[in-house]
Amino acid sequence: MTVAHDSLRRKTDEQLIAEFQQGATEAFDVLVGRYKNPLTNFIYRFLGDYDECDDIVQETFIRVFRKKHSYRPEAKFSTWIYTIASNLAKTRLRQRDRRGLLFLSTLWKREGEDVEAEIPDTRYAADREADGSLKNEHIQKALQSISWKYREVVVLRDIQELSYEEISQVTGLNIGTVKSRINRGRTMLQKLLKDIIDD
């Protein structure tokens, strides 16, 4: 069992997914172990909500499990799985926008009544545990305040450290657009995080 797992661990992502396509579920377990943290980090920085992030990463692996045959070996596995996760996150953001509109409409309806304000999710304490917890919170808030179009590429480039080509494949944008969005996103963040950068 462990010998088999060790041999699997030495394999590349593409070899693992090929084995999984042939029915080896252990290969899937290795892929989950390899990608659960990077994907969680990406989605958390993209969405800013840990519960939603956890749900989306799980959904991503479920998609990989169920649609394993739709993977083509021409593409990198990492790009494929990031694309799935990114699309799910964007869908969630759109749903959130719609819910936001609904929330506004309920505010309109309940004019004059006491309505509870939306409380930000503070259950995840990883940032607080770190030394510069306030600083990290500030950076996360700044990330959330820019448009998701810029946030996505900035997170993929500066946090996940994907190459421009990989980001281009994940987002479906051409490399020029990716670069310009990264630059614009960074400029926006620079303005928002001016105090931290100056320190």
Partner 1 sequence: MDEMIGTKHRDDDQNPIRRLLRSLPQVEASEHFEARLRQRIAGKAEAPKRTSVWDGLIAPRRIPAYALSAAALVVVSVVAYYSLVSTGVGPTEETPVEQSVQQQQPAHPAVPPAVSTQTTAKKQPSPPGKSVAREQRAVSLPPGSGRSLDEPAHRREAEDVLLQHGLLKQVGQGTTPSRSFRVFDMPESVARFEGAGAPGGAEFDSAARKDSLKADSLRLHRQR
Query: Which stretch in 16-24, 36-44, 72-80, 168-176 sits in contact with partner 1 by CB under 8 A?
Result: 36-44
Mark residues 69-108: x for contact with partner 1 by CB under 8 A, - for none.
----------------------------------------
Using only C-alpha atoms, what is the Rg of the chain? 19
Is 21 one of the binding residues for partner 1 (CB under 8 A)? no
User: Total residues contacting partner 1 (rule CB under 8 A)?
Assistant: 40
Report, in Å, the least distance between residue 198 CB and partner 1: 10
Q: Is 157 or 181 the residue whose CB approaches partner 1 more closely?
A: 157
H and E: helices and strands count for the chain: 11, 0
Instruction: Collapse the DSSP code of 36 into the 3-class scheme (helix H, G, I; strand E, B; otherwise coil) and give the result.
Output: helix
Q: How far apart are CA 47 and CA 124, in angstroms?
A: 13
Q: How far apart are CA 40 and CA 163, in angstroms?
A: 19
Q: How far apart are CA 189 and CA 106, in angstroms?
A: 32
> Closest by alpha carbon to 79, among 9, 171, 153, 11?
171
Residues that bind partner 1 (CB under 8 A): 29, 32-33, 36-37, 39-41, 44-45, 50, 53-54, 57-58, 61-62, 65-66, 124, 126-127, 129-130, 136, 139-140, 143, 154-155, 157-159, 161, 186, 189-190, 193, 196-197
